Amino acid sequence: MARTFQVGDTFTHVRQCDRLRPVYYAGASGDYNPIHIDPEVGRQAGFNGVILQGLCTLGWAVEAVAVFVGDPGRVRRVKVRFSRPVLPEDTVTFQGRVTAVSADRLTTEVTATNQRGEPVLRGAVVETSLG
């Protein structure tokens, strides 16, 4: 039996950024921008060290929706606005809410905050196919 969704349905997804995550993601993505792997460059940019690649944070947001709908292959469209970088040792909580349901599409809005309650992602919209 297929799962049904309704406007207003919510979900939560939590990810922990460990100190090696930016290095692992650099290796997987090829994004070796020094701000992600060199603490001194991160400090020169005004941070306490390196920051996580934004696309990794976006990937976690999409993962949250994929877990909610039950199939990562259903993701069709993503729009996002980053609010602040994720730092190593941050715990990021993704909150999602269904904003629209049609016969063949599900639209969700996702926000994310770190453990200090600071928004790291807001206004993300992820559309998935149904069926």
Does the annotation mark 90 as catalytic? no
Say if 58 falls within a structural domain.
Answer: yes
Q: Locate 122 and state its tokens.
A: 């807001």
- 93 Ramachandran zone, left/alpha/beta (phi>0; psi -120 to 50): beta
Does the annotation mark 36 as catalytic? yes
The pLDDT of 9-23, averaged and rounded, is: 96
- Say how far apart CA 124 and CA 102 lie, in whole Å: 19
Range of the domain at 111: 10-129
- Which listed residue (9, 31, 38, 49) is catalytic? 31
Say if 1 falls within a structural domain.
Answer: no
What pLDDT, on a 0 to 100 scale, did the predictor assign at position 35? Answer: 95
- Which listed residue (13, 35, 42, 51) is catalytic? 51
Q: What is the pTM of this model?
A: 0.92
Say if 5 falls within a structural domain.
Answer: no
pLDDT digits (tens, 9 = 90+) for 72-123: 999 999 999 999 999 999 999 999 999 999 999 999 999 999 999 999 999 8
Residue type, 26: A
Say if 3 falls within a structural domain.
Answer: no
- Which listed residue (9, 37, 54, 59) is catalytic? 54
- Which listed residue (35, 36, 90, 96) is catalytic? 36
Tell me if 60 sits within 8 A of 13, measured CB to CB: yes
What pLDDT, on a 0 to 100 scale, did the predictor assign at position 105? Answer: 96
pLDDT at 126 over 60: yes
What pLDDT, on a 0 to 100 scale, did the predictor assign at position 131? Answer: 75
Say if 2 falls within a structural domain.
Answer: no
pLDDT at 2 over 90: no
pLDDT at 1 over 60: no
Task: Give the CATH number for residue 108.
Answer: 3.10.129.10
Residue type, 51: I
Among residues 67, 59, 119, 55, the alpha carbon closest in space to that of 93 is found at 119
Say if 125 falls within a structural domain.
Answer: yes
DSSP 77-104: EEEEEE-S---TT-EEEEEEEEEEE-SS
Does the annotation mark 37 as catalytic? no
What pLDDT, on a 0 to 100 scale, did the predictor assign at position 3? Answer: 82
Say if 77 falls within a structural domain.
Answer: yes
Say if 27 falls within a structural domain.
Answer: yes
Does the annotation mark 131 as catalytic? no
What is the number of structural domains in the chain?
1
Tell me if 102 sits within 8 A of 127, measured CB to CB: no
